[in-house]
Amino acid sequence: MADASTTNASRTALQKLSRLSRRHFLAGTGATLATLGTELAIGSETAEAATPQLLKFSYPETRKPKPGDDPYLRTPIAATFEQRRKLYLQWAAKKPTPTNGNAVWMELLKLEADTNHTLTANVLDASLNARRDTSDFTIAGLVRLYYLHHADGRLSQQQADAIRDVLLDYKYALDEPGLSEAEIWTENHQIITHGSDYLLGQMFPDAIFKNDGRTGSAHRDKAHGEVLRWLNYRARVGPAEWDSVPYYNMDLAALLNLVDFAGDDDIQSRATMMVDLYLFDMAVNSFYGQMGTSHGRAYAQHIMSAAGDSLVSFQTMIFGCGRFQSVDMACTMLATSRRYTLPPVLEAIGLDQPAEMLNRERHSIPLTTEAAAQYGLKLDDVKDYETWWAMGAFTNPEVINMTYDALDRNHMWNYEMFKPLHTTGRVLRPLGLMPMMTRLLNPDSNGTVMSEVNKVTYRTPDAMLSTAQSYRPGQKGYQHHIWQATLGPYAVVFVTHPGDAKSVGPGFWQSNMSLPRNAQYKNVLVSVYNIQRHGLPTPLQRLLVGFTHAYFPRWAFDEVWEVRAANGGGWNFARLGDGYVGLYSHAPYLWTTDGTQAGQEIVAKGRQNIWLCQVGRKQTDGSFEEFVQKLSQSAIAVDGLQVEYAADGIGKVDFGWTSPLTVDGKNIPLTNYPRWENPYAQIEFGSEQFHIHHNGKELNLDFTRGIRNFS
């Protein structure tokens, strides 16, 4: 779709970099550093003189409704949580048990649903092959299986012994000896592995863990501190993987294990309260059970429709809206939980549909020495590496020395993705040159970072709009989903600057190669793109395609209207039920008319563009035709990267690449948001006390004392 160029000397590295996966972020950095040295040594070719190449995109699957699909419900599937839990168990128990590592989740549900169900002799075989990547997810399931059923006769002695052997021969922390393919350094993996380590040390205090020769009680005591550190820090600053559909699922699974089985009150109470906060976060960022908001980490399937949203089933169980569509970690833990009690106020908030709801929130912290010091952290101290790696901060200039030292201290050079960094770092680390080199390569090696985000969600009963305000504009994204308009399970609209990653990293619809500068005020969004190459002409920099594009699935709406501007830009409008959305591109655009993206992609050429989005509804904006007329006739003045938009019902919205957001001349802050500010809670960022309320019901959480009460 677009031309890209590279030097002959870099083509090998380019092929490697284009195949970057989640576990290759550091390998990519090392390869880029090595490539850089080659380019500087050759010095005979430039990006302009290089041979053009065609950038081949990988198109994610578009999930469309099929005949016979269960509908997505906008009213509760059943009146109470217990009724919904039983319905989910009945639904899941009818599914066949897979023959892979997911078998443990299905079997847990079947054991819960049917007192006569017995595990077959070989059903756990796939689950017992430990130490592969994501094997820690399976380990968490085996922990639950063992805790619930090792003594009730539901497991044979042979099965119980086999599970115990695997659980006592696993690497639960990066500073333990032994080789492993499990990548347990991201935020969700940390709480899963530390939580499992704690619970198993508690279960087997006198047993010797084969991987490191320490007793279970030693594992329990060490993991106790790690779990508390994870919980207390995220109570204050929120998850770095903000509102992440796939990884909230894993976090909730780990937390619910701690809720059910932790013997220490300090952990059990705080894990319970953390589950409450995750549920509240979902309640104020979802549209009838669909988490159609900005995400810190998400893959294309999670954002293109509710059919790929791995929290829909969980939300259907908790709040009632949506449908059952997946057997997953969080659902399994919730459906088999013995100790978690859903506070009535959270259930009520999850179902509340006021005429307008505005939520502002903040997650994570800046990657600065000053911000780190506020939380007792240091950017160059190896003891804090898990905090920064949980933020995706691996090779950023501020932390790359710490990363190298942590890898070295923990003997992690066996991981294939780290070997190029090891090779390069052995030369550059003693010279103190690693920060300089990663600055030169920015943003290629630094796109994974999830530093402070200030985000806003606006919702009515008919539409929702959400964005991350002015989030790292111009820098490379990774799995960040910056904004989205949601009118229904399949009726979503968003814009990206695409990359060619096949599964992770910036892809065709996933994240951005160059992040926009966004600002949202209520139901109006401005998204400014200014795509520029940074630093040295590395392969990924040359792959910055010269267009942005919108996901706008015409087939998902009841009506779609188009109003062209004289310059070839203009508005596209859509209606679903009583909800409306309008999307404007200042740059000329074309609809894709063939291939897999026909009828759902709008391509706007140019490295600079201004996109506008506004959502509305019949009750406020009149008929769809009236909505179209009012927006298409509103004055829009663009001067370079600055726009002034006379937004219907809002006023004069002024915003640009470097200027503040103003509405009718009033400055609208884009930073320093509270932890949450909405009709249900007003909580300062950094607070460890939470008061959540609605219609006479309340929930009070105190992380400093570990006290939770609700009415």
Q: What is the pLDDT of residues 507-538, one digit of tens each?
A: 999 999 999 999 999 999 999 999 998 766 66
Instruction: From 352, 386, 411, give the residue that closes a domain.
Output: 352
Query: pLDDT digits over 564-615, tens only?
Result: 999 999 999 999 999 999 999 999 999 999 999 999 999 999 999 999 999 9
What is the number of structural domains in the chain?
Answer: 3
* pLDDT tier for residue 2 given thresholds of 50, 70 and 90: very low
Phi-psi region for residue 251, left (φ > 0), alpha (ψ -120 to 50) or beta?
Answer: alpha
Give mean pLDDT, residues 190-204. Answer: 98
| 337 and 377 belong to one structural domain | no
Give mean pLDDT, residues 230-249. Answer: 98
Percent of the chain at pLDDT > 70 equals 89
Residue 25 has pLDDT above 70, yes or no: no
| 209 and 188 belong to one structural domain | yes
In a domain, 135, yes or no: yes
In a domain, 708, yes or no: no
| 320 and 460 belong to one structural domain | no
Give mean pLDDT, residues 611-639. Answer: 98
The parent domain of residue 625 ranges over 453-669
**Higher pLDDT among residues 627 and 545, named by residue:** 627
Angstrom distances, CA of residue 57 to CA of 302, 483, 547: 19, 22, 14
In a domain, 427, yes or no: yes
Residue 201 has pLDDT above 90, yes or no: yes
In a domain, 688, yes or no: no
Query: pLDDT digits over 151-167, tens only?
Result: 999 999 999 999 999 99
Query: pLDDT digits over 482-498, tens only?
Result: 999 999 999 999 999 99
Give mean pLDDT, residues 129-151. Answer: 88
| 404 and 500 belong to one structural domain | no
In a domain, 241, yes or no: yes
In a domain, 203, yes or no: yes
Residue 433 has pLDDT above 80, yes or no: yes
Instruction: From 408, 441, 474, give the residue that closes a domain.
Output: 441
What pLDDT is stored for residue 126 in this prediction? 63
Cα 436 to chain centroid distance, Å, stands at: 29
Q: For residues 177 and 456, what is the distance between their CA atoms, to the nearest angstrom? A: 44
In a domain, 710, yes or no: no
Residue 34 has pLDDT above 60, yes or no: no
Phi-psi region for residue 4, left (φ > 0), alpha (ψ -120 to 50) or beta?
Answer: beta
* pLDDT tier for residue 38 given thresholds of 50, 70 and 90: very low
Question: Of the candidates 558, 610, 607, which has an alpha carbon nearest to the alpha carbon of residue 583?
Answer: 610
Residue 45 has pLDDT above 80, yes or no: no
Angstrom distances, CA of residue 322 to CA of 72, 78, 81, 312: 5, 11, 14, 6
Task: Measure CA of the first residue to CA of the last residue in the chain; give whole Å.
Answer: 57
| 165 and 45 belong to one structural domain | no
| 513 and 570 belong to one structural domain | yes
Residue 226 has pLDDT above 80, yes or no: yes
Query: pLDDT digits over 368-401, tens only?
Result: 999 999 999 999 999 999 999 999 999 999 999 9
What pLDDT is stored for residue 556 in this prediction? 98
| 265 and 407 belong to one structural domain | no
Q: For residues 685 and 384, what is the distance between their CA atoms, to the nearest angstrom? A: 21
What pLDDT is stored for residue 444 in this prediction? 64
* pLDDT tier for residue 459 given thresholds of 50, 70 and 90: very high
| 427 and 480 belong to one structural domain | no
**691 with 678: CB under 8 angstroms?**
no
Instruction: From 304, 331, 352, give the residue that closes a domain.
Output: 352
Residue 4 has pLDDT above 50, yes or no: no
| 470 and 608 belong to one structural domain | yes
| 24 and 97 belong to one structural domain | no
Residue 131 has pLDDT above 90, yes or no: no
| 106 and 235 belong to one structural domain | yes
pTM comes to 0.93
The 8 Å CB, 24+ separation contacts for 82-85 are 84/316, 84/317, 84/318, 84/320, 85/317, 85/334, 85/335
What pLDDT is stored for residue 51 in this prediction? 40
Q: What is the DSSP string of 287-299?
A: BTTB--S-BSS--
Q: Which two tokens stand for residue 523?
A: 């139901």
Query: pLDDT digits over 293-311, tens only?
Result: 999 999 999 999 999 999 9
| 35 and 155 belong to one structural domain | no
**Higher pLDDT among residues 42 and 706, named by residue:** 706
Side-chain-side CA neighbours of 160 within 13 Å: the count stands at 13
In a domain, 446, yes or no: no
Give mean pLDDT, residues 125-150. Answer: 84
